[in-house]
Structure 1
Amino acid sequence: MTTAADGPEALFAAGISAHGNGDYAVAARCFTGVLEAIPGFPAALANRALALWLLGALDDAERDASAACAAMPGLAEGWMVAGAIRIERGDSAGAIAAYSEAVKLRQGFAPAQAGLAAAYLAHADNAAAARHAALALMLDRDCNHARFTLGSAVSALGQTETAIGLFTQVLAAEPRHAGALLNRGNALVGLDRIEEGEADLRAALAIDPDLREALASLAVLRTIRGDTGEAIALCDRAIGLDPDFAIAQWNRGVAALLQGDFATGFEAYEWRKRHPLYGPHFDRLPAPVWTGDSLAGRHLLVRAEQGLGDTIMFARFLPRLIAEARRVTLACHATLFPLFAGLGVGLCRLDEPAPAGVDCAIDQMSLPHVLRLTPETIPAAAGYLAAPAAAVERFADLAPPAGTRLFGLVWAGNPGHNNDRRRSLPAGALAPLIASEGVRFVALQLGARQGEYDVPSMAGALDDFGATAGILHHLDGLVTVDTSIAHLAGAMGKPCHVLLSASCDWRWLLGRSDTPWYSSIRLHRQQTLGDWSGPIGSVLAALHG
């Protein structure tokens, strides 16, 4: 055992050796001995900071790293450990600054480039992370840290197969790299390789049972498989480790909503405002938050959020609010104005300032929580919206001859939706339906995919949702994937057949062909993720039954 009597050089060498052996507590004691002999020695400060960081003593580690950088600004290792600490603290901008200093000092040093890549990854600048990780690998092809960061960055950029290959290389070098197993598992699930993904996530947890991100990811996977009970238990484990882990809180809420447990689900749904993906979209409300107290004599602002379908779905609560408040204003997308004009609600655009005199405000999808909604108390399931009279008249010629049934058809949703690959149909999937006898179709599909089928298209007439409602008014029904027009049809009480992925949105619950949200909607579910033959066959049988 090296002691102070052996001198600072021997203590420093012993600290380096202990660090290499993974004995960080011994390393920290050795570097402390060096600093007792040579106070302020920058290399000892930097190395003790690194050991303390690895031991989880972030405050002490940050103190040493800052002292090392101040004493010797040209010491790249000091800036590198400062950057690592700042990443763990959630200060990604500070980490980028620290690692940038290290790179300036040692441009050809692979660990410095790898650290800068990790800082950019933490900052969600995936393109920059990929560039610096690739440079680190050019400098040192064995830099596994850089390879892991590169895999994480390209995965976020949508290059899933490449990412899987990189994580596999990381695991070949470090079979117990729990982070690589976690990220490869997530990438495999993203490709619907569910069994392989689950194996990786469970392997990550076998290595690190407290890896909260793996618990949350496995919860999502179990939810996809319909096992909401295990999903909630996994989220509970993650939340037990970190009660502020918004992803696990959100995932738990989604699983509870799929079960039909609205009390638990909508309470947890409030965590969307702190979720790293959804939270940045929430600005501060322009008035005190309404929490369900009396609205008498007050002006309430309801702020729409998420998709257009969500705004339509939750517009069912507006009549109740209008009856209770002095005034209600809905802030939403202008394309919905014609549809909502007859509700007696004030309307303003989301990007406009709130109207004067607003007393309280609420985000629209918080209404079920505030109103203590249950599946049995969902209002207006039979319908609560009607097409504007002018739009009904505009499309009067669309009404089919007696004895002919005319259905609208939509096969793809918004490609920007985070689950669109699963909810939209692959090209050509509806060909058997279109070729069937006895039903005519008109396409109500918008966007780049609108010309995929040889059926009359109404895309050019879909100016806004008022026009879409005017068209639906004259149709016998609608066949659609899970997108906003399904909510419009349900809100109008129009017969509607919705094709659902096995990994469907929480609002459709599990294992049922009806929905308490809309009595006119029938659900046609996949039994196997990615296989649309069953739902399409079910729609065919329903239309010709």
Structure 2
Amino acid sequence: MSAATGFDADLGTALRLHRAGCWAQAVSVYDRLLGDPPVQAAQAYSNRGAALRRLGRADEAAASCIEALVRCPDMAEAYANLGAILQEADHPLAALDACRRAVALAPSLYTPYLAMAHARQDCGDPAGALALLRRAAALAPAMPSVRYNLAEALLQHGLFEEGWQAYEARWQARELALTRPACAKPEWTGQDIAGKTLLVVEEQGFGDTLQFARLILLVKARGARRIVLHCRAPLVRLLAGMEGVDTVTAALPDPGAYDLWVPLLSLMQRLAVTPDRIPAAVPYLTPPPDAVRHWSEALPETEDLRVGLVWAGDPRLGHAAASRTDARRSLALAQLATLLTVPGVSWVSLQKGPAAAQLDRPAVFDPMPGVTDFADTAAIVRQLDLVIGVDTAVVHLAGALGVPAWVLSRFSGCWRWLLDRDDSPWYPTLRLFRQQRPDDWTPVLAQVREELLRAVQLPRHHRGPA
């Protein structure tokens, strides 16, 4: 066997592992190829950099791509990989420069357009990002990661019809690592559902489920006999009381229990919901009576403005992309000190997860150690006058309950909050406070403090169930 043949075989093995998302195993195979002749080694170094990027090892990934370019200065793929690494490491201008070099060397390569789009988004240019993603889609129309990223950009611009259609590629987009539900019955794609039982299957985060569960009532209106909702256990008790839902289960039911199934977030596309037709009547969720009874006297009595606070999301340390997003949206509790000194406010923590350990301030009441699920959280939130939080499931819960919520939204925020507005078509009681510069929360918190000082002078909303 020739050296070239051996290299090709090992490279093929590494690429199969890489494409399957087995990035650590792929890196170990690439490592064996680094001593090959310069051009072959350059390819191994470039691909190794791409795999290390997926593992969240940015410095090693960048160094590997630079080694590739030392051996082969005209390798467009290495420049494209380097651009993606630099963008994710919060160096958007350097990322744009690397990607432009890639495009100059290989105009038909779609990957640099993806990284450039993210870099333009990071620079506050969503229109430029969308144009670059359209270019990537023209070059690689069937590539799931291109379709998924284009979908988010389209949705951010309010282009729902095209965006939700492209969003169907999410199951194949490796960066999301989603597992398509293994349902035995046919999928509902909009066909006549009269007299049928439909299984609606939760996907992605708790916030997504709370946001899109409202669509179930629209499906029921099409004549479905029964709606069975599958979701994770922390949501079962809350969603069991939702109008339009007949059964809620944490386990996929037997195929005999339903006729058709549909992923929850596909309902937007199947129902052809447009931005001006989002069902936004609130509350569409209410805490169950047992949770209300349990928590009705748990909060301290006060005449002050009662405000819930959540300052961090789930760090998702095993998922590099999700962890980066969480780092951008989350704060440390110490950063909110300027809010905690506002007179006339009684603070209630709604924080769960590792960030709850930061809570060492007696001015913030913490009921969360006794919370077992979202029904408990809902019973607490319903007693509040206001919720202030970063972009997590808790602000979706407040919006679904009809409780005023102020969202601290990161620069280049989530697509669901659209562009250039401080309100939301999803939740009438929600208000957005957007970062104007990356990682700069100071002006946002100053604005929130001013609004909070005004709010303590206003009449309170009705606390507790109507």
TM-score of Structure 1 vs Structure 2, range by shorter chain? 0.7 to 0.9
**Residue in 2 that maps onto 1:207:** 105
- Is residue 263 of structure 2 the alignment partner of residue 339 of structure 1? no
Superimposed CA distance per residue, residues 348-405 of structure 1 (whole angstroms, 9 cap, x where no aligned partner): 4454334624121111101111111111111134321111122122122245545311
Corresponding residue SS for 2:175: coil
- Is residue 353 of structure 2 the alignment partner of residue 447 of structure 1? yes
Distance (whole Å) between structure 2 residues aligned to residue 135 and residue 249 of structure 1? 34
Query: What one-letter code is carried by the residue in structure 1 that aligns with 2:234?
Result: T
Question: What TM-score results when the alignment is normalised by the length of structure 1?
Answer: 0.76
CA change 1:332–1:160 in 2 (3 A) is: same
CA change 1:385–1:123 in 2 (3 A) is: closer
Distance (whole Å) between structure 2 residues aligned to residue 516 and residue 225 of structure 1? 25
Please say which of residues 290-299 and 275-284 is displaced more in the overlay: 275-284
Q: What displacement does 1:233 show?
A: 2.7
Distance (whole Å) between structure 2 residues aligned to residue 349 and residue 330 of structure 1? 6
Distance (whole Å) between structure 1 residues aligned to residue 181 and residue 340 of structure 2? 44
Structure 2 unpaired stretches of 5+ = 317-321, 455-466
Query: What one-letter code is carried by the residue in structure 1 that aligns with 2:283?
Result: G
Question: What TM-score results when the alignment is normalised by the length of structure 2?
Answer: 0.88
> What is the percentage of aligned positions where both structures have the same residue?
35
Query: What one-letter code is carried by the residue in structure 1 that aligns with 2:348?
Result: V
Distance (whole Å) between structure 1 residues aligned to residue 333 and residue 63 of structure 2? 28
Q: Any conservation in 2 of the 1:219–1:251 contact (CA below 8 Å)?
A: no
Please say which of residues 431-440 and 519-528 is displaced more in the overlay: 431-440
Structure 1 unpaired stretches of 5+ = 1-73, 85-94, 97-116
- Is residue 27 of structure 2 the alignment partner of residue 130 of structure 1? yes
**Residue in 1 that maps onto 2:204:** 306
Corresponding residue SS for 2:239: helix
Query: What one-letter code is carried by the residue in structure 1 that aligns with 2:304?
Result: T
- Is residue 412 of structure 2 the alignment partner of residue 515 of structure 1? no
**Residue in 1 that maps onto 2:228:** 329
**Residue in 2 that maps onto 1:394:** 294
Superimposed CA distance per residue, residues 267-293 of structure 1 (whole angstroms, 9 cap, x where no aligned partner): 111111232234651134332222223
- Is residue 286 of structure 2 the alignment partner of residue 380 of structure 1? no
**Residue in 2 that maps onto 1:468:** 377
Total equivalences in the alignment: 442
Distance (whole Å) between structure 2 residues aligned to residue 427 and residue 169 of structure 1? 41
Distance (whole Å) between structure 2 residues aligned to residue 459 and residue 409 of structure 1? 11
Please say which of residues 341-350 and 483-492 is displaced more in the overlay: 341-350
Q: Any conservation in 2 of the 1:83–1:119 contact (CA below 8 Å)?
A: no
Larger Rg: 1
Q: What displacement does 1:139 show?
A: 7.8
- Is residue 258 of structure 2 the alignment partner of residue 358 of structure 1? yes
Distance (whole Å) between structure 2 residues aligned to residue 534 and residue 475 of structure 1? 25
Q: Any conservation in 1 of the 2:178–2:204 contact (CA below 8 Å)?
A: no
Aligned pairs (5 A) from 1:523-542: 523-542=432-451
RCO (CA 8 Å, sep 6+): is it higher in 1 or 2? 2
How large is the RMSD of aligned CA atoms in angstroms?
Answer: 2.4
**Residue in 2 that maps onto 1:438:** 344
Corresponding residue SS for 1:512: coil
Distance (whole Å) between structure 2 residues aligned to residue 298 and residue 129 of structure 1? 46
Please say which of residues 528-537 and 274-283 is displaced more in the overlay: 274-283
Aligned pairs (5 A) from 1:2-17: none
Q: What displacement does 1:83 show?
A: 5.5
Query: What one-letter code is carried by the residue in structure 2 that aligns with 1:129?
Result: A
Structure with the largest fraction of helix: 1
CA change 1:118–1:278 in 2 (3 A) is: closer
Corresponding residue SS for 1:277: helix
Distance (whole Å) between structure 2 residues aligned to residue 386 and residue 433 of structure 1? 29
CA change 1:302–1:118 in 2 (3 A) is: closer
Corresponding residue SS for 1:430: helix
Q: What displacement does 1:226 show?
A: 4.4
Corresponding residue SS for 2:402: coil
Distance (whole Å) between structure 2 residues aligned to residue 399 and residue 124 of structure 1? 47
Identify the match of residue 90 of structure 2 among 192, 198, 220.
192
**Residue in 1 that maps onto 2:132:** 234
